[in-house]
Amino acid sequence: MNFSLTPQLESFVRECAESGEYNNASEVVREAIRLLKRTAEERDIKLGHLREAIAEGDDAISRGDSYVFNSVEDLDRFFDEF
């Protein structure tokens, strides 16, 4: 597999490899891809949780189990009661 990096990214990869934390540029790129993969997986999990919360909210609204706040004062009164 071949890919191109901008000069800035190439310089960064070289600096990382030369720092001694990685043995070579390939290790730097592999670590970057692992981090990108982890970030994508975490984003997917968060998106799934958000979709579940939205579905729960929609269900609550459908059941009439919801509140409408027309102002900050309404919201403050609601929380003052609890």
- CA-CA distance, 60 to 58, in Å (whole number)? 5
**Can you tell me the mean pLDDT for 62-66?**
94
Phi, psi of 46 (to 5 degrees): -60, -40
Residue ranges per domain, the chain? 7-80
Whether the predicted model's global pTM rises above the 0.75 cut: no
Of 3, 66, 44, 75, nearest to 13 by C-alpha is 3
Per-residue pLDDT, 82: 77
Position 59 scores a pLDDT of: 97
What is d(CA 58, CA 18) in angstroms, rounded to the nearest whole number? Answer: 53
What's the confidence (pLDDT) of residue 38?
Answer: 98
Residue type, 33: I
pLDDT tens, residue by residue, 22-59? 999 999 999 999 999 999 999 999 999 999 999 999 99
